[in-house]
Structure 1
Amino acid sequence: MTPAARISAAIEVLDDIIGRRRPAADALKDWGLSRRFAGSKDRAAIASLVYDALRRKASSGYAMASEEPRALVLGMLAGLRGLAVAEIAELCSGENHAPGRLSDDETALLTAFSAGDAPGWIQADVPEWLWPSFEAAFGQAAIEEGQALAARAPIDLRVNRLKARRREVAAALAHAQPEEGAWSPDALRFQPGHDGRGPSLQTEPGFFAGAFEIQDEGSQLVTLLAGARPGDTVVDLCAGAGGKTLALAALMANRGNLYATDLDGRRLAPLHDRLARSGAAIVDIRIPRSRGHEPLEDVAGKADLVLVDAPCTGSGTWRRNPDAKWRVRPGALAERIKDQAEVLARAARLVRPGGRIAYVTCSMLPEENDEAIRAFLGKTPGFAPIAPIDALTGAESDFSLLARFATEFGLQLSPRRTGTDGFYLACLRRGD
């Protein structure tokens, strides 16, 4: 496919996503299945165009005076990819499956392209109903925080300490130009190319050998700061596919007891193969038999650490899932807040006296972060927050610079602040 034909395809896919409120991945998959002529490079390029358009949906729509898929793609080409009007016009020839020619209005809007005088939520490319939460969290920096969330994300990997060292993995992947992570001692980072794509790390021999896993540096960092130590009894209460479980096993040097569970047992399915590849030998996967079943009853009151990777809106991952921010609704936030209260109450029953809970979200919203902790402390006697600076001081590396990002009860990471996805961490200690 030509570059122009790919743009036409992206407009078509975007129309399906917006018109039917579908996840982008589903729309792209269906498009590819019905267009067998499109090769893997074509599909990847089209996906990149679609996701880029969704990143800047509000600001492009404002600058182009339209939220039609064509306007959003044209605006993205100008605003994110930096194409000149003449370059965009050349791609829109109307010939050989290219988009139709630019109208006079489109040419004028692209020439004057700007959203600088738009309301804050538009400049930040954040849903309007969530804008008060962003302003509450970040104040005058809220627009810049939203814009950072609308940028492309790098690809990060976590070197598996049980099998490799960072310098060894970096040498093996030198052809992909890795950078050492700024925060995590186990992180390597790969920047996306001009088309938004990064290296295919999951086809590398080191991946199959278990030397590394794909994991955002922010996720690595909050797992490290949770404070698991060799010999501890640790619970990963919302383990899902097990990214943090694997990181915990490595931090514990395969010594101690590590339990992984999730209310939705189906989410744990990928963990079995990942464990076999990683060499982690201390993980006990507990699958609930039913919604109300507690598979960790025998661990109640015994855990040194309970990691709560709480269900949330996922606003901190919008760089990687830009379609998700336009699909989330107020009802979903209310439901996640309820889920967070329930999982914190469950964690409180599992942790031992003197032990601690590490509460983690991939959210930028105070309602899911500090406010969730405030609500928990208000109705759960015997627990107290651990000051963020104390959590940082006890870590294996010098993370004192992160103290700048302390909130009332925890730490808020973000693409703008730390170059990571948006993660929140608060640590709570149960009294003796």
Structure 2
Amino acid sequence: MTPKQLSATLDILNSALGFTAPADAVVSRHFRENKDLGHKDRAIIAETVFGMLRHLPQLEWLAGGEAGKLPSTRELLLAYFTRIKHLNVRELPPVFTDEDKTRAGQMKGMALRDAPLNVRAAIPQWLVDTLVAEGQDEAAILALGQAMLQAAPLDIRVNSIKAKRDAVAAELKAAGDINTAPTPYSPWGLRVEGKPAINKYKCFIEGRVEVQDEGSQLLGLLCGAKRGQMVADFCAGAGGKTLLLGAMMQNTGRLYAFDVSEKRLANLKPRLARSGLSNVNPQLIASENDQKIKRLAGKMDVVLVDSPCSGMGTLRRNPDLKMRQNATSVQELNAKQRSILQSAARLVKHGGRLVYATCSFLQSENQAIVEAFLAQNPDFELLDAREVLSKERVTIELPDQYLQLMPHLHNTDAFFAAVLQRISAERAAAKEAGAMLSAEDEVADEADEA
């Protein structure tokens, strides 16, 4: 690492460790403001910053910071070079003094196996406490935490209305000697070797591929969107899943992309133009209770709710999230998640499908939200995600009827999804009649007892 790269790394860390903004935004802003940093400089700096954020609880412990107080960025960087990058004293950048090198030698002698669980798993204590409360044991927490220390692979989704997967793989190989392999679960996915700038290649520019984690692609399969249907992506964001649903519908029917953020919907526009889809109808809404939602009540064949969440499932990509979230912020999200799911359910017609999803592994954002919803909405029932995927010719090991993808088990982000179906009008009427008869019987029994 050159002095220029080292200086830039420390500057970025001094800003990023305040956790007042996403780390990727801090890095991007620094690069925009420092045009003299070349491509190689930026790659080394970004790799170092995100590597340190992934390992931050370990680095704090190694650097001997006081409880609640971060060591200096210089000390954290020394710990990172010494224990994570495994540099010996002679390989350390010349900016480090003899005193620093002595300290590095001491760090090499520290045994991480003696550290607290949150340090060994490289996650904050609040997250360990949450996982323990949800029934996770030490081995499971360590496996998850250590998996999150690895950089995520680069997955792309082939746009099925424009290209075939094999053709795109051959095109990337010919255009830039880029090696890819079919993703193990998604029928549209390619896993790219290394981290090439896919957005510079013709297949991306012309809309034949989109960057999308394989786990996110599987959410589309759970939706089961088909030709001619009415479908809603309730929290569309920048539209990655919207574009997938539109392709599954083969550019027919009507697909609504709802979001409360005008900026996110604006980011969908260029992606939509590349995709070749004409069945997408972006809709800015004020909240989940917007009048636009009410007008479409009971009309949708499929509604996808990719709910706002903590993002804990994306820590391989956004390692600073584990420091920017806390138990209180997750509880606040839980209230929002319940409200959004309840509102989205109104759109689903009898016999239609409602898919609730998050990029989180926390049960409070996942199973707990779904179970509470089902208790309050007897006209919905839970489908087995394994059976739904099996009908799409996807076999995947899951512990129960929910989809819960994990990086150390599936090499995807930690996505969760529940597939819900609104029962038919006939079944709903019969169920209601049965409930009324049961209530009448109870009244009669009470009268007899009296």
TM-score normalised over the length of structure 2: 0.86
User: What SS does structure 2 have at the residue aligned with 1:306?
Assistant: strand
Shift of 1:278: 0.6
**Structure 1 residues 374 and 290, CA, compared in 2 at 3 Å: closer, same or farther?**
closer
Q: Report the AA paired with residue 64 of structure 1.
A: A
Shift of 1:156: 0.9
**Structure 1 residues 222 and 83, CA, compared in 2 at 3 Å: closer, same or farther?**
farther
Rg comparison, structure with higher value? 2
Q: Paired residue for 1:176?
A: 178
Tell me the distance in 1 between the aligned counterparts of 2:29 and 2:383. 48
Preserved CA contact (<8 Å) 1:63 1:114: no
Tell me the distance in 2 between the aligned counterparts of 1:350 and 1:291. 11
Please report the RMSD computed on the Cα atoms of aligned residues, expressed in angstroms: 2.1
Q: Report the AA paired with residue 317 of structure 1.
A: T
Q: Identity of counterpart residues, as a percentage?
A: 37
Tell me the distance in 2 between the aligned counterparts of 1:133 and 1:405. 22
Q: Report the AA paired with residue 24 of structure 2.
A: A
Shift of 1:257: 2.0
Q: Paired residue for 2:422?
A: 430
Tell me the distance in 1 between the aligned counterparts of 2:277 and 2:110. 52
Preserved CA contact (<8 Å) 1:59 1:122: yes
TM-score normalised over the length of structure 1: 0.90
Q: Paired residue for 2:75?
A: 71
Name whichever of 261-270 and 130-139 sits farther off: 130-139
Shift of 1:29: 3.6
Count, aligned residues: 414
Name whichever of 52-61 and 127-136 sits farther off: 127-136
Q: Report the AA paired with residue 261 of structure 1.
A: F
- 1:129-160 Cα offsets, whole Å, 9 max, x none, are 11133343643321111111121111111000
Q: Paired residue for 1:208?
A: 205
Q: Does 1:261 align with 2:258?
A: yes
Name whichever of 75-84 and 319-328 sits farther off: 75-84
Tell me the distance in 2 between the aligned counterparts of 1:249 and 1:137. 39
Tell me the distance in 1 between the aligned counterparts of 2:290 and 2:248. 29
Name whichever of 372-381 and 46-55 sits farther off: 372-381
Which contiguous aligned blocks of 4+ residues in structure 1 show a shift greater than 6 angstroms?
none
**Structure 1 residues 224 and 71, CA, compared in 2 at 3 Å: closer, same or farther?**
farther
Q: Paired residue for 2:296?
A: 299
Tell me the distance in 2 between the aligned counterparts of 1:55 and 1:10. 15
- 1:382-416 Cα offsets, whole Å, 9 max, x none, are 11111233222222x232xx2x3234x51210111
Give the unaligned 5+ runs of structure 1.
193-197
**Structure 1 residues 214 and 12, CA, compared in 2 at 3 Å: closer, same or farther?**
same
1:20-419 equivalences in 2 (<5 Å): 21-66=20-65, 67-88=71-92, 91=93, 93-94=94-95, 99-101=96-98, 103=100, 105-135=102-132, 136=134, 138-139=136-137, 140-174=139-173, 175-192=177-194, 198-288=195-285, 292-395=289-392, 397-399=393-395, 402=396, 404-407=397-400, 410-419=402-411
Preserved CA contact (<8 Å) 1:78 1:113: no
Shift of 1:246: 0.4
Preserved CA contact (<8 Å) 2:79 2:104: no
**Structure 1 residues 247 and 5, CA, compared in 2 at 3 Å: closer, same or farther?**
same
Q: Report the AA paired with residue 121 of structure 1.
A: N
Tell me the distance in 1 between the aligned counterparts of 2:98 and 2:202. 47
**Structure 1 residues 45 and 103, CA, compared in 2 at 3 Å: closer, same or farther?**
closer
Tell me the distance in 2 between the aligned counterparts of 1:260 and 1:431. 24
Tell me the distance in 2 between the aligned counterparts of 1:48 and 1:186. 29
Preserved CA contact (<8 Å) 2:78 2:104: no
Tell me the distance in 1 between the aligned counterparts of 2:259 and 2:33. 36
Shift of 1:256: 2.2
Name whichever of 105-114 and 371-380 sits farther off: 105-114
